[in-house]
Copies of this chain bind each other. A is one copy, B any other.
């Protein structure tokens, strides 16, 4: 393979505000020779996720920034195409963190074999992968919903939000989604089975958004899974019941450094609520249980999901910029050869 090449995308520069195509660079590099113990993986799908935006900046965050000139971080699913490691066979389907590139080389650490008999390979990047476990952790460990409670989730049609809402329905809750646009809302209530969904784009201002939320949460809000921030968070704060719980998973509205104030933190006191941020990769102890439950639900059709698939590695930057603006519908993937 020494004369062959593959493509990868590296971080070329850090965004000063919104992400631009200039922040990325497509490179073509030689396929490395495998050393003893190494495995070569062809990536079939890349996962695109909002957290990657945080890594592109240098500010203080929960993880070190993505280094310049190195392959963009990211989850991948693929298949072993060459192996000098007795534990891995050509043809094994695997999930790993090879980032934005067509191939990956590893000694096997950080890579898991997956079973695609009942679950499609790409789902291991979505409902049965990091986004699914994120939903599972925030809902079960922070919100801890009881049957009959009202649970709200933002970015409800997305990879995380769609799982949050379906798990909450399975737990017997009344579930309200927040999504951008009629199509997404129709999908959330029609296909995913949420009780209601409000279209934040149909609100002209924060007051209207609050009114829309109030209309579909007659019993107030007991739990909120936060993926967005901004006006939606303020509206939910004003609807909280006593002892409500808010899991803060993402604040995509502020990723480009915008001010994103909570206008009414007094609601924290009035409702005696708990607000807790979390990063799912810091709770590896729950992954086996979460993945087992999620895999079962997906295999049984109790958790449905939708994917936006961009074709070819070169399409990744544009698909990623679209994701940050909510242009995707469901889990955003990049399909490779």
- A-side interface residues toward B, CB under 8 Å? 60-62, 229, 233, 242, 248-251, 254, 259-266, 268-279, 282
Contact = CB atoms under 8 A, between A and B. Distances in A.
Contact of A265 (B60, B261, B270): B261
Given A269-B279, A272-B279, 4 more contacts: A229-B266, A251-B266, A260-B264, A262-B262
Contact of A250 (B60, B269, B279): B269
A151 B44 CA distance: 49
A204 to B, nearest CB: 20
Contact of A61 (B62, B268, B270, B277): B270
A251 B277 contact: no
Nearest to A250: B269
Contacts of A276: 268, 272-275
A269 B276 CA distance: 8
Counting chain B CB atoms within 10 Å of each CB, the highest count among A60, A262, A269, A275 belongs to: A269
Number of copies of this protein chain within its complex:
2
9 contacts: A61-B270, A250-B269, A251-B265, A261-B265, A262-B262, A268-B275, A272-B276, A274-B274, A275-B276
B274 A60 contact: no
Contacts of A261: 261-263, 265
Given A270-B61, A270-B62, A282-B272, A229 B265 contact: yes
Q: Which 4 A-B pairs have the closest CB atoms?
A: A261-B261, A262-B262, A269-B277, A275-B275
Contacts of A278: 272
A251 B265 CA distance: 8
Nearest to A261: B261
Contacts of A262: 261-262, 265
B272 A268 contact: no
A272 B141 CA distance: 14
Contacts of A269: 62, 248-251, 277, 279
A248 to B, nearest CB: 5
Contacts of A279: 269, 272
Nearest to A262: B262
A275 B276 CA distance: 6
B242 A268 contact: no
A213 B263 CA distance: 23
Contacts of A275: 268, 274-276
A282 B268 CA distance: 15
Contacts of A62: 242, 269-272
Contact of A277 (B250, B254, B270): B270
Contacts of A263: 259, 261
B260 A265 contact: yes
Contacts of A270: 60-62, 277
Nearest to A276: B274
B254 A266 contact: yes
